[in-house]
């Protein structure tokens, strides 16, 4: 039997994120980002944050914890990405600064990076709203909606059509990104993250050789979460009675927390139980990971191992036997 197909002994409460030339790992106790610097060294930094569930008890309960988890993940992800961009690009090298660069550093410092990240987030949200909410509704109205009154009034047909368009857009986007050299390296680090977590769940020593034998397709992945949200969105869309593209977009936007909550709970169930139903639910996400994860090289695996070792709980607390 191939090593990739064997069953993990445990489920770890550890997740991660691929970065620019790095990997961030997160356990309930600690968050740590490791980055490969231009001089081939590995830079590591712990990320401090306060989770919403620790500030507001409501985010500890089912459905609400999905919303809190999504917000926390976005906040932590931005911090980790900011660290990786700085360290991987070598912008902190001791190269002479121009007068303008000195003025920017003196008056703004790290605020510039925060502003850039904020603008990128706003732009990303705007583009996502257009592509995944407004455009599918518009395409239905100008195609099937005009073709047949029966189809135009069928919420099931409309939602299925919009869901298919969303999936094709997401698939096309992922394929396009996979062809870009720098993004492909991020996808390789994504593979290193998954393989390293699997090695830990198998109970093997965290070495490059052991990690290389593991699968890069992991059911508890952000890619799988996106696919589950798309599927949940199809069912929710069946109950939105409005036909106008703009109004449907607004309602969908307001329902994002509901989709995130349901998606989080479904992923949590799939990670806890292994049966025909959970495997069926996880399958589309695992298929998509054939694009969003790529086989890493040894240096990438070393970075992932460095991050994972930094967040392993004492006495391996948080491991669930399966």
Which helix (H) or strand (E) element contains residue 210?
helix 208-212
Residues 269/204, Cβ–Cβ less than 8 Å: no
Q: Tokens 């590591």 identify what position? A: 44
- Separation between Cα atoms, residue 295 and residue 208, nearest integer Å: 13
Q: Which residues are paired to 321 by β-bridges?
A: 10
Ramachandran assignment for 21, one of left (phi > 0), alpha (psi -120 to 50 degrees), beta (any other): left
Kindly state the DSSP code that residue 214 receives in the 8-state scheme.
Answer: S
DSSP assignment letter at 90 = T
pLDDT in tens, the chain (322 residues): 344 555 555 666 888 999 999 999 999 889 999 999 999 999 999 999 989 988 999 999 888 988 888 889 989 998 999 899 999 987 654 455 566 556 656 655 556 656 666 677 677 778 888 888 899 999 998 888 787 777 778 888 999 999 999 999 999 999 999 999 999 999 999 999 999 999 999 889 999 999 999 999 988 888 888 899 889 999 998 998 888 888 988 999 899 888 989 988 888 888 777 788 888 888 898 899 999 999 999 999 999 999 999 999 876 655 555 4
Q: Which two tokens stand for residue 44?
A: 């590591």
Joined tokens for residue 281: 């639910």
* Tokens coding 68: 């809190």
Name the token pair of 90: 């070598």
Residue 118: its H or E element = helix 111-129
Contacts of 19 (CB under 8 A, 6+ apart): 33, 35, 80, 81, 83, 84, 88, 186, 189
- Predicted TM-score (pTM) of the model is 0.82
DSSP H stretches of helix in 5-98: 52-55, 64-89
Give me the torsion for CA of 172, 164, 228, 58, rounded to 10°: 110
Cα separation, 283 vs 270, in Å, equals: 11
């Amino acid at each position: 039997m191939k090593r990739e197909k064997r069953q993990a002994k445990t489920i770890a409460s550890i997740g991660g994120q691929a970065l620019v030339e790095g990997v961030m790992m997160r356990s309930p106790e600690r968050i740590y980002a490791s980055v490969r610097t231009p001089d081939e060294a590995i830079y590591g930094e712990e990320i401090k944050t306060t989770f919403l569930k620790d500030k507001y008890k409501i985010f500890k309960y089912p459905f609400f914890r999905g919303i809190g988890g999504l917000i926390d993940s976005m906040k932590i992800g931005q911090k980790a990405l900011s660290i990786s961009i700085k360290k991987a690009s070598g912008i902190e090298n001791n190269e002479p600064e121009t007068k303008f660069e000195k003025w920017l550093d003196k008056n703004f410092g790290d605020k510039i990076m925060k502003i850039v990240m904020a603008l990128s987030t706003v732009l990303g949200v705007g583009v996502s709203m257009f592509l995944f909410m407004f455009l599918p509704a518009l395409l239905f109205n100008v195609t099937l909606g005009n073709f047949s009154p029966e189809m135009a009034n069928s919420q099931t047909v409309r939602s299925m059509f919009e869901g298919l368009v969303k999936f094709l857009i997401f698939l096309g986007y992922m394929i396009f990104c996979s062809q870009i050299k720098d993004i492909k390296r991020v996808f390789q680090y994504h593979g290193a993250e998954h393989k390293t977590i699997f090695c830990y769940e198998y109970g093997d020593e965290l070495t490059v050789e052991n990690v290389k034998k593991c699968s890069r397709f992991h059911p508890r992945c952000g890619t799988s979460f996106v696919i589950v949200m798309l599927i949940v969105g199809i069912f929710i869309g069946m109950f939105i009675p409005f036909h106008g593209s703009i109004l449907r977009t607004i309602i969908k936007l307001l329902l994002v927390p509901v989709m995130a909550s349901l998606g989080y709970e479904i992923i949590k169930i799939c990670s806890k139980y292994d049966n025909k139903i959970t495997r069926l639910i996880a399958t589309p996400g695992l298929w998509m990971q054939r694009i969003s994860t790529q086989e890493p090289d040894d240096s990438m695996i070393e970075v992932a191992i460095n991050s994972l070792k930094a967040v392993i709980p004492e006495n391996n607390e948080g491991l669930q036997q399966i």
